[in-house]
Amino acid sequence: MSSTNNYIEADSVLKQYTDQGLLLVKNNYITSIILDYIKKSHQNDPYRTLVEAIVAVIGLYYIIRNSKKYGNSKAAKVIDNLSPKEFDTLLQDWEPKPLVDPLPTDCDAKFQEKQVELFQWKLKKQPIVTQFNGDKINIITNDDPTTEKKDLFNLSHYNFLKLFNNNKYKDRLNDLTKKIIKNCGVGSCGPAGFYGNEDLHYTLEYDMAEFLGTEKCVLYGQDFATIPSVLATFNKRGDIIVADKLCNVAIQNALQLSRATVYYYDHNDMEDLERYLEMVAEDEKADGVLHRRYIVTEAIFQHNGQICNLDKIVELKNKYKFRLFIDETLSIGALGKTGRGITEFFGFKDRSQVDITVGSLGNSFSVGGGFVAGDAIMSFFQRIGSNAYCFSASLPPYCCGVASDIIKILDSDNSSIIQLNKNTQLLNDLLTKKLKTVKSHFIVTSNEKSPMIVLKMSDKFRAKLFNSSVLTIYEDMHQQQTKQNKAVIVQEPFLLEEKFIQEEIVDKLIDEKIMIGLQPYSLQHESLPLLPGFVVSVDANMSTEDIQYITDKLCLVIGEASKKKSI
């Protein structure tokens, strides 16, 4: 028995020494590899050994320092040692930041009461869409959620073609959408460069480039993020941008992110634009340094529905050697004989005069996402340098498939575009004439060819009613900037009252089975002051009878509101 135990003990000791020997041999083997690497690298490049040694020491120091810092945090010890009473005291003293900006201290009580009254009224009257019935909608409101208002004309959208409601194409587009979702799912699940793009994405990029007549096109998952990402990609500190002062908020964000020097010219004023271009050219001659220079504008301006003067802008661009950046969010699928946008509208043979074209697929193309069209080098650079392209999820595959099919429809059949242009002209003509007959104090500010019709209060009536104008906002902004060096909060009482009048008009039109929308904007996010207005959108599916009914009811309600405020 004892001999057996001795045998087992000897065997375990032998095994232990064997394991230690193998470990020693293994360690010696690894050590020899490391020493051999150091010897060879030192022989070939002694400075490399020194750099690697310094990096290793810094890395070791960083690891040890951080482990001590987070493992023995004084703040953590203090928090752990706090009593429940001390916890309660700290919580009572804590003041969270406000979710919204506070009112200016110089606002009177009456203005604050009026603002609260407007917000409460808007909350009660907020329409909620419950059902789409082809071109019409059903809604309820918060103050009466049990009563559904049916079959309203929806004029608060930017889907000017409404091909999904077109009897000729709706089944085709719906079937295609279902098929792609069944095969590919509803999302791409990744950025374009990280397995997010499928063949449908590249097909749409090719189709859109062919449709617009450019070398290449790049897709983005979100249309609002497209412009800030693109302008920031191609501009840096020291570059120069001359932009229209009524550009939309996406362009304004882009100008801030670009860090370029920005000059704003008067809205659609070509003489003022040339003045800035000439000034920039002379400054560069004096400095002897060349910078990237851009003219930035919109095709159809979101704030007032005007159309940019492209032929004159192109002339000035070539004269002073600037690049041209145009946002065609509202014009693609709406302007031109075949919906190719502002260049076709002005009769240009191709898009070579526009260096960067940006647009949205969320309007006339009925899906979502954005695109950037231009030459091949510009497009390639975006794929490696544009944040929204590199780090945001790409467009859902079904959106790409539907957009490609809509491009094919527009290429083969432009009847929807022709009908849209006819409806736009008819509604503009009828509305302009009818507003004069009812002595309306609201005027059409948009171009007669724009399917987005914008109505605003006339300057004369605003001055009479409120004794104020847009200059009042400029003065208020200047005073606040002088008093305090921080974000300017503009809360003009007359703007609040003007928005209230427009909200009442929108609410009364709902009773007439018409839904229009107020222009969405926030003065805190605008670079320059804006005045409120409302939007009446035209679409290709409207009949002549629909347009006549809409015009009559619009002018009736607006005329009554104008008469009421004139008394």
Model pLDDT, residue 25: 47
pLDDT value for 485: 43
Structural domains of the chain ordered from first start = 2-78 (no CATH), 109-155+416-566 (3.90.1150.10), 170-413 (3.40.640.10)
Helix%, strand%, coil% for the chain, nearest 5: 55, 15, 30
Q: 134 near 118, Cβ under 8 Å?
A: no
DSSP codes, 9-34: HHHHHHHHHHHHHHHHHHHHHHHHHH
Q: In which band, very low, low, confident or very high, does the pLDDT at 319 lie, cut at 50, 70 and 90?
A: very high
Cα–Cα distance measured from residue 131 to residue 347, given in angstroms and rounded to the nearest whole number: 41
**Tens-digit pLDDT profile for residues 377-408:** 999 998 888 888 988 889 999 999 999 999 99
Instruction: Name which of 208, 325, 188, 190 is nearest 255 in CA terms.
Output: 325
- Using CA atoms, how far apart are residues 218 and 200, in angstroms rounded to an integer? 13
Give mean pLDDT, residues 135-147.
Answer: 87
CA distance 221 to 192: 9
Run of H or E including 201: helix 199-212
Q: What is the mean pLDDT of the chain?
A: 83
Report residue 223 as tokens: 């249309």
pLDDT above 70 covers a percentage of the chain that reads: 81
The pTM of this model reads 0.78
- Indicate whether 74 pLDDT > 70: no
239/232 Cα distance (integer angstroms): 11
In this prediction, residues 329-345 reach a mean pLDDT of: 93
**Cα dist. 430→27, 332, 343, 425, 511 in Å?**
92, 25, 28, 9, 22
Tokens 């999820």 -> residue: 393
Q: Residue 217 pairs with which residues in a beta bridge?
A: 373
What's the rounded Cα separation, in Å, for the pair 161 and 531? 28
Quote the CA–CA distance of 378 and 372 in Å, as a whole number.
Answer: 9
